[in-house]
Amino acid sequence: MRGARAFPPAVVMAIALSGCMHSQGPVATVSSPGELDVLAYGAPSPPAPREAYAQIPVVYASAPAPATYDAAYQLDAGDKLRVVVYGQEGLTNTYAIDAAGAITMPLIGSVPARGRTPQGLAAAIAAKLRAGFIRDPSVAVEIDTYRPFFILGEVAAPGQYPYVPNMSVESAVAIAGGFSPRAQRDRVTITHTDPAGSFRTVVPLGTPIRPGDTVLVGERWF
């Protein structure tokens, strides 16, 4: 077509751009800022109702029980005692029972303790104080440290060890380092001494021992 007029390239480009400006493609819109997190991470889980927390059990750790001792325990040499004379700081102290079986306190001197219970010794101390020193003494006696026990024979480290309440033969062997390779492991011999005398008996490993006992672990023969 001769009569058709050719447009310059610049005019053609301007017309194309004007058409692009008027055309509009699809645009994603967000109605609130929080929906960005939903689009990225998904919808959050709904909070648990208040009643759900009330059903969760709570466990509290209990405090260790205080150490106790047998009120009928008979005192002997090697025991260390805590003697409390209420209102008398000069008399309240820790006293060891000596080889003669007595403790020595200010004012009243020697007080026999062997064979007595802690309560019985407290009564004896109060009686001595009442005889010319304190009008109405109040005395309490408790065991500070028990006399040791002894373990001999086929263990790794025989000797003398501090006694711990509720000990058994098995725990005594463990304290002494365990059995030797030649040890008889099913029973031992215990020698117990009290004011009535000494006696010896063969017992299994679960048998309790007392302060001052001697445990003898024998040797097996096969």
Average pLDDT value over all residues in the chain: 78
Query: Between 3.40.50.720, 3.30.300.30, 2.60.40.1930, 3.10.560.10, what CATH number should domain 149-217 receive?
Result: 3.10.560.10
Dist CA 135 CA 131 (whole Å): 8
pLDDT in tens, 35-91: 444 444 455 555 545 444 334 333 333 333 334 456 689 999 999 999 999 999 999
pLDDT of 77 reads 94
Q: Under CATH, which architecture does the 80-145 domain have?
A: 2-Layer Sandwich (3.30)
Residues of the chain with CATH 3.10.560.10: 149-217
Q: Would you state the pLDDT for residue 44?
A: 53
Instruction: Using CA atoms of 167, 160, 213, 144 in order, give the dihedral in degrees to the nearest 10.
Output: -60
pLDDT of residue 69: 52
Band of the pLDDT at 132, cuts 50, 70, 90? confident
Where does the pLDDT of residue 109 fall: very low under 50, low under 70, confident under 90, or very high at 90 and above?
very high
> What is the structure's pLDDT at 2?
45
Distance CA 28, CA 69 (A): 80
C-alpha span between 116 and 125 (Å, rounded): 12
| Residue 43: predicted pLDDT | 54
pLDDT one-digit tens code per residue, 195-214: 778 899 999 999 999 999 99
The rounded percent of the chain whose pLDDT value lies above 70 is 68
Phi/psi of residue 35, each to 5°?
A: -70, -15
Q: Tokens 């040499």: give the residue.
A: 77
pLDDT of amino acid 108: 96
pLDDT band at 136; cut points 50, 70, 90: very high
pTM value is 0.64
Q: In the chain, where does the domain assigned CATH 3.30.1950.10 lie?
A: 80-145
For residue 164, give Cα distances in angstroms to 31, 144, 151.
74, 11, 14
